[in-house]
Chains A and B, each alone.
Chain A
Amino acid sequence: MESLGKMISVLRHRGPDGFGFYRDKSAGLAHARLSIIDLEGGRQPIHNEDKSVWITFNGEIFNYKELRECLEKKGHAFYTKSDTEVIVHLYEDHGVECLRRLNGQFSLAIHDAKQDTLFIARDRVGIRPLFYARAGGSLLFASEIKALFTDSRVRREIDIYGLDQIFTFWMTVPPRTAFQGVFELPAGHYMTAAKGRLAIEKYWDPDFLQDAAPRQEAEYAEELRELLIDSTRLQLRADVPVGAYLSGGLDSSIITALIRKFTGTPLRTFSIAFEDTKYDESSFQEQMVKHLDTDHSGIRCSYADIGRIFPEVIRHTEKPLVRTAPAPLHMLSKLVRDSGYKVVLTGEGADEVLAGYDIFKEVKIREFLAKYPDSRFRPLILKKLYPYLDNSPVKSLPYAEAFFNAGTNGYPAMYRSHVPRWSTTAKIKPFFSDALKEALRSYRGTDELTSFLAADFCRYDSLSRAQYIEIRTLLSGYLLSSQGDRVAMAHSVEGRYPFLDHRVMEFCCKLPPAMRMKALTEKYILKESMRDLLPASVVKRTKQPYMSPDSKSFFCENPPDYVQEILSESSLRKSGYFNPEVVSLLAKKCSRNQVLGFKDNMAIVGIISTLLLHDIFIDNFTSTDNIAIKRTMEDGRYAAKV
């Protein structure tokens, strides 16, 4: 019990409303509760009728009311009003197949005491995290890695192959993490543990195969609208008030408008503004606030703010970052919590499932250029890309052509869409120390990526292939984790994502590619289906992805104290990941405040975040929290105060 207590106590930010435990001869479960549904009765772990099946669960099952109705008809007796109890009974009836019936975002563990088995699972796209490690003869699992590290048998060491992957793909390819011997259960997968054996299976993957006859455009638009109305309605289910993030872009504006128009819920919205106008979208946010008449509040973020909170952000992301973008979202979740809210809906996911990013436009443009490589006029279309970037790779056409036509740069051809991004990110690796370079000399992260992705994704058309890669890499490994769950849960806030309702995702993936991107109009069918809900200026607006200042956050007028120390020669030599001389030249360049390209911005963020990760989890990890656990029931249940 002491071990369970230590593990859960470092996760109290995820669930500050109470701790619960279950323990029998072969398994122990712990839970930190963020009470959102069934505030009085939903304490976990929760059991079935004869107390032989126990669950600990993080997340939400949005269709729990419908599932409960069916289960009650079948004779199941419920003792709470929670969504969690629904899973227990569904598991009794359907075993691992229960996952296919769940509409939700979750990580869960079910212990069947009679069968002496453990079943752990994660939602389809990886909204809620789940990590595991082996320690002696035990399997340890938790929502965050720091809980595993409270067990002294789990080694704390950076995984150099994980570093190589992050400095290419922005994420580690599951099950690998940034730490050796610590693994991530991939999105859409479950694990069973029985008689000392572990087995991991996939139960869901985005499927872009076009296997239905095309329909009229209006039908697609209507169906998408109905699905989004329903997913938003379901995701508003909570026994606490629900707010929304409003970035000023199309997707969050749509979600906010749907809440406003199709539900009676009073609406509270939250947003980020930046002192640096290059990143600021507040004029569009104000426009939507006025249009929808919401009760709005926001934060205004400076360079120094980002630098100041960055170590705390890394403590939550538990992996190096190549962008500072999670930091303002960490600040925003604090505002949400301080405003008395625990749940926010956001527009995350629309860009991936409906082809919103410029990386998808690149795919079409490169194909267009390749048809007539000698054309003098075709390259002009490159100017359509990245209009929001100051330091854009398309500012000069001859250079843009060289950039986008660089071939596959040694990457397998099926990754062509992502080669410019990965090649640019990989330019961080020359900053590695000689020893690290030598250790990684023959390592190729794409081999692991290829075995992780579905074998048949190569059969998709080029746009769908790029979207599939994006969903399986950046969405689950970065946007939903470092920029999503981890920085929201840092302040006990739960993000909900109507675009990632699996019915919406499955519908969008099966849309003809031209419905997702028509010519170079991104998210075409979404705009058509929601046009009447939004001001024309928001619908027509050129997409500006959410970004925040990088290098300047560490080299501004009031730089954070730790930067100089962490980039010192002695600190760099001690950790051994980077070459001190080269890093020193980069730091000098950053401090001159001159124009910086992507690679230098990514390099300095990557280096600082890796060194912070090392400092927090390798050199100075502490888990001294002790909580007083009391036995509350004879059936194996225990509890403790937060």
Chain B
Amino acid sequence: MRLKFEIRNFITENFLYGRKDNDFSDDVSFLEKGIIDSTGVLELVSFVEGTYGIFVEDEELVPDNFDSINKLSAFISKKKGNGNNHAQTYARQ
């Protein structure tokens, strides 16, 4: 729950700027709702990598992983569950 709350907070503060249309469900598509576009998704990647210490591979940069709160939280949980991620992140830095 905390993870979804953090993602929602980031989205609201950085893409919706507290606007009235922030009342959307965890399943709503960011693309379809016009919340995040192709350049905005890179801001989201930067947030995910910086906050959760994971590295997003190019091939993982797809709507299946990033296009809703539920999808993103599942992706982060999966990546965090993979013990190699931190090592990968640091190796690349």
Q: Which of B14, B18, B19, B63 contacts A399 (CB 8 A)?
A: B63
Which residue in chain B gives the minimum CB-CB distance to A404? B38
Q: How far is the CB of B54 from chain A (nearest CB, A)?
A: 16
Q: Which of B38, B46, B58 contacts A400 (CB 8 A)?
A: B38
Q: Which of A424, A585, A595, A596 contacts B17 (CB 8 A)?
A: A585
B3 contacts the other chain (CB 8 A)? no
Interface residues of A in 571-615 (CB under 8 A from B): 581-582, 585-586, 589, 594-599
Which residue in chain B gives the minimum CB-CB distance to A400? B38
Interface residues of B in 14-64 (CB under 8 A from A): 14, 17-19, 31, 37-43, 46-47, 58, 61-63
Which residue in chain B gives the minimum CB-CB distance to A430? B19
B13 contacts the other chain (CB 8 A)? yes
Interface residues of A in 363-399 (CB under 8 A from B): 391-396, 398-399
Given A402-B63, A585-B17, A586-B17, are A395 and B42 neighbors across the interface (CB < 8 Å)? yes
Alpha-carbon distance between A398 and B59 when the two chains are bound, in angstroms: 10
Q: How far is the CB of A443 from chain B (nearest CB, A)?
A: 20
- Please determine whether A399 and B17 come into contact, CB atoms closer than 8 angstroms: no
A262 contacts the other chain (CB 8 A)? no
- Please determine whether B63 and A582 come into contact, CB atoms closer than 8 angstroms: no
Q: How far is the CB of B67 from chain A (nearest CB, A)?
A: 9
Alpha-carbon distance between A137 and B63 when the two chains are bound, in angstroms: 61
Neighbouring A residues of B58 by C-beta, 8 Å: 395-396
Q: Which of A581, A585, A586, A599 contacts B40 (CB 8 A)?
A: A599
- Please determine whether A597 and B39 come into contact, CB atoms closer than 8 angstroms: yes
- Please determine whether A582 and B31 come into contact, CB atoms closer than 8 angstroms: no
Neighbouring A residues of B43 by C-beta, 8 Å: 594-597
A79 contacts the other chain (CB 8 A)? no
Q: How far is the CB of A605 from chain B (nearest CB, A)?
A: 15
Neighbouring A residues of B17 by C-beta, 8 Å: 430-431, 581-582, 585-586
Which residue in chain B gives the minimum CB-CB distance to A389? B39
- Please determine whether A597 and B42 come into contact, CB atoms closer than 8 angstroms: yes
- Please determine whether A597 and B18 come into contact, CB atoms closer than 8 angstroms: no
Alpha-carbon distance between A599 and B47 when the two chains are bound, in angstroms: 17
Which residue in chain A gives the minimum CB-CB distance to B62? A398
Interface residues of A in 418-471 (CB under 8 A from B): 424, 430-431
- Please determine whether A582 and B39 come into contact, CB atoms closer than 8 angstroms: no
A403 contacts the other chain (CB 8 A)? yes
Alpha-carbon distance between A394 and B39 when the two chains are bound, in angstroms: 8
Neighbouring A residues of B31 by C-beta, 8 Å: 399, 402
Q: How far is the CB of A425 from chain B (nearest CB, A)?
A: 12
Q: How far is the CB of A599 from chain B (nearest CB, A)?
A: 7
Neighbouring B residues of A582 by C-beta, 8 Å: 17-19
- Please determine whether A393 and B39 come into contact, CB atoms closer than 8 angstroms: yes
Interface of B, secondary structure class, is helix
Most chain B CB within a 10 A radius of its CB, from A396, A431, A581, A586: A396
Neighbouring A residues of B38 by C-beta, 8 Å: 393-396, 399-400, 402-403
Q: Which of A396, A581, A585, A596 contacts B41 (CB 8 A)?
A: A396
- Please determine whether B18 and A595 come into contact, CB atoms closer than 8 angstroms: no
Alpha-carbon distance between A599 and B46 when the two chains are bound, in angstroms: 16
Q: How far is the CB of B11 from chain A (nearest CB, A)?
A: 12
Neighbouring B residues of A391 by C-beta, 8 Å: 39, 42
- Please determine whether A396 and B37 come into contact, CB atoms closer than 8 angstroms: no
- Please determine whether B18 and A581 come into contact, CB atoms closer than 8 angstroms: yes
Neighbouring A residues of B63 by C-beta, 8 Å: 398-399, 402
Q: How far is the CB of B87 from chain A (nearest CB, A)?
A: 24
Neighbouring B residues of A393 by C-beta, 8 Å: 37-39
Q: How far is the CB of B1 from chain A (nearest CB, A)?
A: 24
Q: How far is the CB of A610 from chain B (nearest CB, A)?
A: 17
Alpha-carbon distance between A86 and B41 when the two chains are bound, in angstroms: 58
Neighbouring B residues of A398 by C-beta, 8 Å: 61-63
Given A430-B19, A585-B13, are A396 and B61 neighbors across the interface (CB < 8 Å)? yes
Neighbouring A residues of B47 by C-beta, 8 Å: 594
Most chain B CB within a 10 A radius of its CB, from A424, A585, A586, A595: A595
- Please determine whether B19 and A597 come into contact, CB atoms closer than 8 angstroms: no
Interface residues of A in 128-148 (CB under 8 A from B): none
Neighbouring A residues of B39 by C-beta, 8 Å: 391-393, 424, 597-599
Neighbouring A residues of B62 by C-beta, 8 Å: 396, 398-399
Q: How far is the CB of A192 from chain B (nearest CB, A)?
A: 47
Neighbouring B residues of A589 by C-beta, 8 Å: 13-14
Alpha-carbon distance between A309 and B39 when the two chains are bound, in angstroms: 29
Most chain A CB within a 10 A radius of its CB, from B14, B17, B46, B61: B17
Neighbouring B residues of A395 by C-beta, 8 Å: 38, 42, 58, 61
- Please determine whether B18 and A424 come into contact, CB atoms closer than 8 angstroms: no
Alpha-carbon distance between A305 and B18 when the two chains are bound, in angstroms: 32
Which residue in chain B gives the minimum CB-CB distance to A396? B61
Most chain B CB within a 10 A radius of its CB, from A394, A400, A403: A403
Which residue in chain B gives the minimum CB-CB distance to A427? B37
Most chain A CB within a 10 A radius of its CB, from B17, B18, B39: B39
Alpha-carbon distance between A589 and B62 when the two chains are bound, in angstroms: 25
Neighbouring B residues of A430 by C-beta, 8 Å: 17, 19
Alpha-carbon distance between A176 and B19 when the two chains are bound, in angstroms: 31
Alpha-carbon distance between A400 and B63 when the two chains are bound, in angstroms: 11
- Please determine whether A597 and B13 come into contact, CB atoms closer than 8 angstroms: no
Q: How far is the CB of A604 from chain B (nearest CB, A)?
A: 12
Alpha-carbon distance between A585 and B58 when the two chains are bound, in angstroms: 30
Neighbouring B residues of A586 by C-beta, 8 Å: 17
Alpha-carbon distance between A395 and B56 when the two chains are bound, in angstroms: 12
Alpha-carbon distance between A403 and B30 when the two chains are bound, in angstroms: 13
Mask of A498-534 contacts with B, CB within 8 angstroms, 1/0: 0000000000000000000000000000000000000
Neighbouring B residues of A399 by C-beta, 8 Å: 31, 37-38, 41, 61-63
Q: How far is the CB of B43 from chain A (nearest CB, A)?
A: 5
Q: How far is the CB of A268 from chain B (nearest CB, A)?
A: 40
Alpha-carbon distance between A353 and B41 when the two chains are bound, in angstroms: 34
Which residue in chain B gives the minimum CB-CB distance to A592? B14
Alpha-carbon distance between A431 and B19 when the two chains are bound, in angstroms: 10
Most chain B CB within a 10 A radius of its CB, from A392, A399, A430, A431: A399
Alpha-carbon distance between A430 and B19 when the two chains are bound, in angstroms: 9
Neighbouring A residues of B42 by C-beta, 8 Å: 391, 395, 595, 597
12 residue pairs from A and B, CB less than 8 Å apart: A391-B39, A391-B42, A394-B38, A395-B61, A396-B38, A399-B37, A402-B31, A581-B17, A582-B19, A594-B47, A595-B46, A597-B43
Given A424-B37, A585-B17, 6 additional A-B pairs, CB 8 A:
A399-B61, A399-B63, A402-B37, A403-B38, A599-B39, A599-B40
The 7 A-B pairs of least Cβ separation, nearest first, read A399-B38, A597-B39, A396-B61, A403-B38, A595-B46, A393-B38, A585-B17
